[in-house]
Amino acid sequence: MKKVQDRFLEYVKYDTESDENTGLTPSTPGQMEFAKILVEELKQIGLSDVSLDDNGYVMAFLPANTSKVVSTVGFISHMDTSPDLSGKNVNPRIVENYKGDDITLNHDQKIVLRTDENPEILNYIGNDIIVTDGTSLLGADDKAGIAEIVTAMEYLINNPEIEHGNISLCFTPDEEIGQGADHFDVKKFNADFAFTVDGGEIGELQYENFNAAALKLTFNGRNVHPGSAKGKMINSMHIATEFMTSLPARDVPEKTSGYDGFFHLMEIKGSVEKTELIYIIRDFDKDKFEWRKNIVENIVRELTKKYSQNIEIEMHDQYYNMCEKIEPVNYIIDLAQNAMRDSDVKSKVIPIRGGTDGARLSFMGLPTPNLFTGGHNFHGRYEYIPIHSMEKSVDVIVNIVKRLIK
């Protein structure tokens, strides 16, 4: 049986960085190349009905080996890596028996993973830790999740004395650009519930995420030669600035944490004639989420009246807090926590300050909370993952399956 770290180290060789600008699904050819590799591996270890569709979704199934009536559980991870940093030519190495000191990732470029900036790494003294060479991300988000799921399935296949129900697997493209659930075939997946294996440090269990909206504002002005502009010029950038300063000053990502919501200015592009602002709006509470959208509309209404200039507003919801879909089936959270306990892992139930495919899938009729992969510092050159945490993720997946038969 292949070790989870060996599987992971093979997976990160594939460049699967997604790209929101191509308009394709999958958005990049590397994802389809990796998907084909996974298909062959899944067939080789003995999974059934392995398939790859035109949109790059890999599905596979492990049939039940029991006559008992058991719920069908699914496990899901995504194949793409974030476009925030290159996922090409990933050159990982294993720091064996980590001593608790700073880790030099790249001598030539003086890139160092420092303990004072990453104090949580001190929790892994004595562990073997996989790190980058400082020139790319690692890809634990979410190739670690894939490696853990596949390794758990191989373990179950190689140990047929472990009774289990039907198990569904899916590896998706383009999660990092918000499109991972766009073409997910819930009916074909045919699970009663599922877990994404896409979280961070060991023990994480997540079933709350932001309600999310995207906002684009276009402020129109009037340009006149500045020498004769009095009473005539309307500077769209000034109107846009007034809008920005009218929002609650503390409700920004850099000043919020936990269950706090925010308005996040993503992009500014402006001139006297026209200025565009791109925002995202986030809140866990549905009423506060609606309140935030109302604030935007009220400010726009006031500025339109004040300046007699048209302000174009494009605002649409992106996804919702999956908590409302998980709470009615809260036994699946108990299931995951008990499986962690069986694996000697302390569960850490925390909200996701972001989105997840699980949120969209939950609203598509497939309740899908999120399990840890064990990784840290996703999307950047300081990403790392302790091998012990990956092994514990495999244990938890196996113990979820075992728990369902009890």
Adjacency order of strands within the sheet including 73-78: 48-52, 58-62, 167-172, 73-78, 193-199, 370-372, 204-206, 348-349
Which residues touch 6 (CB under 8 Å, ≥6 apart)? none
First vs last Cα of the chain: how many Å apart? 26
3-state SS, residue 187: helix
Active site residues: 80, 175
Report phi then psi at 134, rounded to 5: 85, -5
3-state SS, residue 103: strand
What one-letter code names the amino acid at 51? S
Identify whether the C-beta of residue 35 lies closer than 8 Å to the C-beta of residue 56.
yes
Enumerate long-range contacts of 293-300, CB under 8 Å, 24 or more apart. 293/213, 295/247, 295/248, 296/215, 296/217, 296/247, 296/263, 299/243, 299/246, 299/247, 300/217, 300/243
Nearest residue to 150 via CA among 11, 15, 36, 18: 11
Q: How far apart are CA 279 and CA 76, in angstroms?
A: 29
Q: How far apart are CA 406 and CA 389, in angstroms?
A: 26
Q: How far apart are CA 285 and CA 116, in angstroms?
A: 34
Q: How far apart are CA 28 and CA 224, in angstroms?
A: 45
Instruction: Dig out the tokens for 208 from the structure.
Output: 């709350």
Nearest residue to 237 via CA among 257, 225, 221, 214: 221
Identify whether the C-beta of residue 47 lies closer than 8 Å to the C-beta of residue 169.
yes
Which residues touch 396 (CB under 8 Å, ≥6 apart)? 336, 339, 340, 343, 345, 371, 372
